[in-house]
């Protein structure tokens, strides 16, 4: 096996944020991202041109194992494709809610009120299907795929929130139907299906409470 030679190196970016501004900036970011909520009831208001593509550009800046960038993002706005995705997801979800899910899991979902109906796949003006890209004819072996794609999706959700858009990290299971309907090759494996848009005027979200910092943070 030939070991490729190291890449040429360039200067690390000095981001130039004054130290006096550091806390204020990160606090403002926390407050802003803290307003993000998963939304399940979307308006049909269209998404401004170019926003989805730029948000994917943000996602694709994520770090990845061995810099393999093992992700693919499919933006779906075509209504007939969204309808097919809804029908296929609901078929899997009906199995999940009536047969596959253990009682304990259903109990955990109870407070959130989710069920097998997924109208948001049709009503949201856009869906972003996120795939992990595994070894294939045109793709190298990736490393830490879930970590890499998970970070990229975090960037994506933050970018869409910054643009004033709401999202839902939908996890239909299994996701093979995404490959079939979206025509993706076998080395691409569904990771998440993300409806994007504006909340319907009457949309509500559960009154969740986030854990206080001292419950999620340990300092040593």
Which residues of the chain form contacts with ligand IYR (CB under 6 A)?
93, 96, 109, 114, 170-173
Least Å distance, CB 60 to ligand IYR, is 25
**Three-state secondary-structure class, residue 6:** coil
In angstroms, rounded to a whole number, what is the distance separating the alpha carbons of residues 59 and 20?
A: 29
Which residue lies nearer to ligand IYR by CB, 142 or 172? 172
User: DSSP secondary-structure letter at 185?
Assistant: -
Least Å distance, CB 85 to ligand IYR, is 13
Which residue lies nearer to ligand IYR by CB, 16 or 110? 110
Residue 215: CA count within 13 A, CB half-sphere: 4
Could you tell me the strand order of the sheet in which 188-197 lies?
A: 71-76, 126-133, 188-197, 166-167
Which residue lies nearer to ligand IYR by CB, 57 or 94? 94
Least Å distance, CB 141 to ligand IYR, is 29
CA angle 84/148/33 to nearest 5° reads 80
Question: Of 195, 178, 168, 199, which Cα lies nearest the Cα of 87?
Answer: 178
Question: Distances from the Cα of 144 to the Cαs of 63, 128, 149, in angstroms?
Answer: 11, 22, 9
Least Å distance, CB 195 to ligand IYR, is 11
Least Å distance, CB 217 to ligand IYR, is 23
For residues 147 and 65, is the Cβ–Cβ distance under 8 A?
A: yes
Which residue lies nearer to ligand IYR by CB, 84 or 118? 118
In angstroms, rounded to a whole number, what is the distance separating the alpha carbons of residues 17 and 170?
A: 36
Which residue lies nearer to ligand IYR by CB, 64 or 194? 194
């Amino acid at each position: 096996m030939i070991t490729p030679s190291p890449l040429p190196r360039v200067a690390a970016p000095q981001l130039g944020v004054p130290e006096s501004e550091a806390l204020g900036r990160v606090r403002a970011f926390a407050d802003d991202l803290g307003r993000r909520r998963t939304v399940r009831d979307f308006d049909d208001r269209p998404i401004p041109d170019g926003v989805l593509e730029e948000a994917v550009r943000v996602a694709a800046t994520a770090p990845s194992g061995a810099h393999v960038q093992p992700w693919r993002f499919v933006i779906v706005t075509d209504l007939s494709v969204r309808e097919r995705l809804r029908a296929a997801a609901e078929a899997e979800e009906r199995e999940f809610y009536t047969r596959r899910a253990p009682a304990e899991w259903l109990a955990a979902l109870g407070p959130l009120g989710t069920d097998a109906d997924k109208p948001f796949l049709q009503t949201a003006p856009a869906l972003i299907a996120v795939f992990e890209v595994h070894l294939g004819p045109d793709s190298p072996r990736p490393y830490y795929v879930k970590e890499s794609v998970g970070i990229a999706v975090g960037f994506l959700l933050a970018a869409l929130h910054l643009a004033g858009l709401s999202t839902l990290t939908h996890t239909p299971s299994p996701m093979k139907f995404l490959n079939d309907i979206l025509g993706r090759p076998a080395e691409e494996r569904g990771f998440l299906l993300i409806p994007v848009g504006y909340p319907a005027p009457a949309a509500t979200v559960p009154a969740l409470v986030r854990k206080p910092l001292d419950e999620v943070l340990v300092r040593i």
